[in-house]
């Protein structure tokens, strides 16, 4: 079955780059996603990457996909205190829109 | 501003009581998902619907949980009887369901359930 793994916690200083990693098992995944959850709120889509891409850049966000190793990463450049949140990796399994989420990585940005 | 609406936002109840959570998906979305979030398990998929039909509820304890879509504008998740281990935040999410699109899901703000 599908499984998505993430490290639980990451702490960085303001201005540094943050890299959040994720591994998944479903080789038939078509899209992979990064969602952000701020305290007391639901999840919001940050960015996504189609499985035939290796990299996607969107302002301060860079997504890298290594299909061979089934590894996805999210790099946040110039991390700000407002980036402190839980970041979820998710894969879209074949078929409909079912998303399988990782455990979430809590990012703490200190001044 | 289209968004997924969930009620109640917070619910405290006693063990054994029935709990019903409601969700209004974004108008025009035809897929609806129920997720449960806990510190220990993270985000678990409980059930999902397409065009109001249940497609997968394998993540849901069948003896006490039930999920329905009485119409296209309302999804419900019911727990009867509730137990302390059901304490969690329950999220509803909706999507447009078209295979060609990116599959983005839109989440509600969640219903935080505490069972004493």
Question: Considering chain A, what percentage of its residues have pLDDT values greater than 90?
Answer: 72
* Residue keyed to tokens 């019903």: B20
* Residues B43, B3, B95: CA angle, nearest 5 degrees: 60
**Chain B contact for A87 (CB, 8 A cutoff):** no
Q: Which of B31, B43, B48 shows the shortest C-beta gap to A88?
A: B43
Written as six digits, the tokens of B72 are: 């296209």
- At B98 the pLDDT is 63
Predicted local distance difference test score (pLDDT) of residue A56 = 95
Rounded to an integer, what distance in angstroms lies between the CA atom of residue B50 and that of residue B68?
11
Tokens of A110: 């200190």
Query: What DSSP designation does A69 have?
Result: T
Residue whose C-alpha is closest to residue A104's, from A7, A39, A38: A7
- Contact across the interface for A101 and B107, Cβ inside 8 Å: no
Q: Collect all residues of chain B within an 8 Å Cβ-Cβ radius of residue A103.
A: 42-43
Which of the pair, A21 or B102, is modelled with greater confidence? Answer: A21
Residues with Cβ within 8 Å of B112's Cβ and at least 6 positions away in sequence, in order, are B9, B10, B11, B88, B89
Closest partner CB to A99 (pick from B42, B103, B109): B103
Residue range B103-112, pLDDT digits in tens = 789 999 999 9
pLDDT of residue A98: 79
Residue A26 clears pLDDT 60, i.e. is over it: yes
Q: Which residues of A touch B94 (CB under 8 A)?
A: none
Q: In the prediction, which pLDDT does A70 show?
A: 93
| pLDDT value of position B69 | 96
Nearest Cα residue in chain B from A97: B103
Q: What is the pLDDT of residue B82?
A: 97
Per-residue model confidence (pLDDT) at position A97: 67
- Judged by a CB distance cut-off of 8 A, whether residue A33 touches chain B is yes
Coil vs helix vs strand at B115: strand
Measure CB to CB from residue A97 to each of B91, B95, B108 and give the nearest one: B95
Residue with tokens 């969602």: A35
Residue segments in chain B with a per-residue pLDDT below the cut of 70: 1, 97-101
CB atoms within 10 A of CB B51: 11
Higher pLDDT pick, A83 / A25: A83
Query: Residues A56-97: pLDDT tens digits?
Result: 999 999 999 999 999 999 999 999 999 999 999 999 876 666
Query: Hey, are the CB atoms on A103 and B107 less than 8 Å from each other?
Result: no
């Amino acid at each position: 079955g599908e499984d998505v793994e993430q490290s639980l916690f990451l702490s960085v200083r303001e201005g540094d780059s943050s890299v959040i990693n994720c591994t998944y098992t479903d080789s038939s995944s078509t899209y992979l996603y990064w969602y952000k959850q701020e305290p007391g709120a639901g999840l919001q889509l940050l960015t996504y990457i189609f499985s035939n891409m290796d990299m996607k850049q969107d302002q301060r966000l860079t997504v890298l996909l290594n299909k061979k190793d089934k590894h996805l990463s999210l790099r946040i450049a110039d991390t700000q205190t407002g980036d402190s949140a839980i970041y979820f990796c998710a894969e879209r399994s074949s078929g409909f829109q079912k998303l399988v989420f990782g455990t979430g990585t809590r990012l703490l940005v200190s001044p | 501003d289209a968004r997924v609406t969930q009620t109640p936002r917070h619910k405290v109840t006693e063990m054994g009581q029935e709990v019903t959570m409601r969700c209004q998906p974004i108008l025009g979305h035809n897929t609806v998902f129920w997720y449960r979030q806990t510190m220990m398990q993270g985000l678990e998929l409980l059930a999902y619907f397409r065009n109001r039909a249940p497609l997968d509820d394998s993540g849901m304890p069948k003896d006490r949980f039930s999920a329905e879509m009485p119409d296209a504008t309302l999804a419900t998740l019911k727990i009867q009887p509730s137990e302390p281990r059901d304490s969690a935040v329950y999220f509803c999410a909706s999507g447009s369901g078209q295979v060609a699109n990116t599959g983005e899901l839109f989440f509600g703000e969640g219903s935080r359930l505490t069972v004493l």
